[in-house]
Amino acid sequence: MTTKTETMTRQAPAQDAGAFPVPRLDQQLCFALYSASGLMTKLYRPLLDPLGLTYPQYLAMLALWQHSPSTIGELGAALGLDSATLTPLIKRMEAGGLVTRRRDSADERRVLVEPTAKGEALRARMKDVQEGLSCAMPLERAELKALHGTLTRLVAGLREATADQD
Amino acid sequence: MTTKTETMTRQAPAQDAGAFPVPRLDQQLCFALYSASGLMTKLYRPLLDPLGLTYPQYLAMLALWQHSPSTIGELGAALGLDSATLTPLIKRMEAGGLVTRRRDSADERRVLVEPTAKGEALRARMKDVQEGLSCAMPLERAELKALHGTLTRLVAGLREATADQD
DNA sequence: TCCATTTAATTTGTACACGATTAATTAGTG
DNA sequence: CACTAATTAATCGTGTACAAATTAAATGGA
């Protein structure tokens, strides 16, 4: 009588009465962020492919257009990536002719990264990327604005909360 | 007189009058999502490490606790990942003793994934993970709720917008 | 029944992403 | 000035992540 029901259904197994309910995937904020981020990358891909850029490389170009030359460390701070990720990423961009890398003569530890003429030329094509993207965005302009604001505060808070793990 | 000013400053270069302004990193929704997602992963790491789970593996366990056995394809649909990502991920979880893999005898193409006793045992430790996490979240409960709602609609819309790229 | 098509998972190749370590350089202190 | 401490990239190892090609199995006609 007690062991009889243990092989009934697999769908709601072993949930003791009063036990902590296992969090559902669709109720997890982290999963919504994870999914949204991945889908945005997928949305950018066809727009960036013809430019010879991956999505992280596109972010790096945005940072460099804003401020260059930049060191690996500065790029890392701007993008939230560490040198183990950026060093090979920048080297691939260098191989693609989009940026130059050189040691800072004033401090030989630093590596200065700067767009090439070819890299600068991509600036002119950003209009199409932005337009192509905003057309595909499923939310209202005001909603996107509000979402961006909330995310910005979330990111600022998370940076503090994870600051110890560097 | 014309070529004299071309080496002035590096900070605001070559922005033709009326040209499309290069989008700023901190104004890009995609970058906010990218940063937030990465920081959430970093926030989970110390909580999941003692369980022997990476963050994507944690998501896979959530999906399996919700519904198992699941095929690779079902997990892929739930998580938004393709089989080329999931196959090795699940194999690592199998090597860690958290799940079992077996071919479906009714359809030998399918692989059924199911938590082991050890995997089921992790359920009991999810309370600590959830609590440890929500303590570190920098936003108000209501704000998080609203953010989750907006993201859910964004994800649904992006799924449609990217549905052709499968 | 046979075979073309479809489906499911795996494999291969490329590109992130991070923790931990290392190597080179610079800064600081006595 | 010597020598240690701190800083900066690069490297190594492991784990995602996806496109494209491959293999194996099931399905749907002719």
Q: Kindly report, residue by residue over A70-120, the tens digit of the pLDDT.
A: 999 999 999 999 999 999 999 999 999 999 999 999 999 999 999 999 999
Angle between helices A126-136 and A29-48 (to 10 degrees): 130
Fold of A52-156: Arc Repressor Mutant, subunit A (1.10.10)
Q: Is the CB of B82 under 7 A from strand D?
A: yes
Give the closest of A34, A144, A156 to B29, CB-based: A144
Q: What is the DSSP letter of B158?
A: H
**Cβ–Cβ of B162/A39 closer than 8 Å?**
yes
Q: Determine the residue of chain A that is closest to B20 in CA distance.
A: A127
pLDDT of the residue at B9: 41
Whole-number Cα distances in Å, A33 to A11, B34, B66, B155: 26, 8, 20, 9
**Euclidean distance between CA atoms B125 and B90, whole angstroms:** 20
DSSP symbol at A70 = E
User: What is the model's pLDDT at position A86?
Assistant: 98
Any strand C atom closer than 7 Å to A6 CB: no
Residue A165: its pLDDT value, please? 75
Output the six-digit token pair for B163: 């549905």
Q: Note the pLDDT of residue A20.
A: 73
Q: Determine the distance between A108 (CA) and C24 (C1') in angstroms.
A: 9
pLDDT at residue B74, as a whole number? 97
Low-confidence ranges of chain B (pLDDT < 50): 1-10, 12
Identify which of A31, A34, A35, A102 has the alpha carbon closest to the alpha carbon of residue A71.
Answer: A102
Q: Choose, out of B7, B16, B25, B122, the residue to mutate when testing the contact with A (most A CBs < 10 Å).
A: B25
Contacts of A37 (CB under 8 A, 6+ apart): B30, B33, B34, B36, B37, B38
Neighbours of B42 (CB within 10 A): 17
* Helix-helix angle B83-95:B72-79, to 10 degrees: 110
Residues of A in contact with B14 (CB under 8 A): 120, 123
Per-residue pLDDT at A3: 41
Q: Indicate the residue type of B90.
A: I
- A31: nearest CB among B59, B67, B138: B59
Give residue-wise pLDDT tens across range A12-67.
455 555 567 888 999 999 999 999 999 999 999 999 999 999 999 999 999 999 99
Is-contact B62 A22, C-beta < 8 A?
Answer: yes
Question: Is the CATH number 3.40.50.300 carried by domain B53-160?
Answer: no
Any long-range contacts for B141-145 (C-beta under 8 Å, 24+ apart)? B143/A150, B144/A29
A33/A4 Cα distance (integer angstroms): 42
Whose CA is closest to B48, among A156, A23, A18?
A23
